[in-house]
Amino acid sequence: MEFKTKQFDGPYEVSEIQINSEGEIFRGMLYFPPQSFQKPYPLIIYFHGFPQLFSLKEIVRSYAFLLDLGYSFLVFNFRGYSYSEGKISISSQVSDAIEIIKLVKKMAENNIFDLNEINIIAHDFGAFIGLILSSKTNVINNLILISPILDLKRHVYSEEFVKTLNYINQFLPGNVRGIENVGEFILMIKTELSEKKFQISNFIKKLKNKKLKVITGDEDKVTPSLEVNNVLQKANIIPDITLINCMDHECSEEDDIERINKEIRNILKR
Domains of the chain in sequence order: 7-150+207-268 (3.40.50.1820)
Contact 104, 43 (CB under 8 A): yes
Encode burial over 134-172: b for 16+ CB neighbours within 10 A, e otherwise.
Answer: bbbbebbbbbbbbbbbbbbbebbeeeebeebbeebbeee
Could you tell me the CA-to-CA distances from 117 to 70, 138, 231 in Å, in that order? 11, 12, 27
Mean pLDDT of the 10-33 span: 96
- Other CB atoms within a 10 A radius of the CB of residue 74 amount to 23
Alpha helix (H) residue ranges in 110-240: 125-134, 152-156, 159-171, 182-193, 200-203, 225-232
In tens, the pLDDT along 103-137 reads 999 999 999 999 999 999 999 999 999 999 999 99
The CA distance from 98 to 130, in Å, is 10
In tens, the pLDDT along 213-258 reads 999 999 999 999 999 999 999 999 999 999 999 999 988 788 999 9
Mean pLDDT of the 197-208 span: 98
Write down the pLDDT at residue 3: 52
pLDDT at 73 over 70: yes
Write down the pLDDT at residue 2: 46
* 178 contact partners, CB below 8 Å, separation of at least 6: 80, 86, 87, 88, 89, 185
Cis bond before residue 34 (omega within 30° of 0) = no
Q: Is the pTM of this model over 0.95?
A: yes
pLDDT at 269 over 90: no
User: pLDDT grade, residue 5 (50/70/90)?
Assistant: low
Average pLDDT, the chain: 96
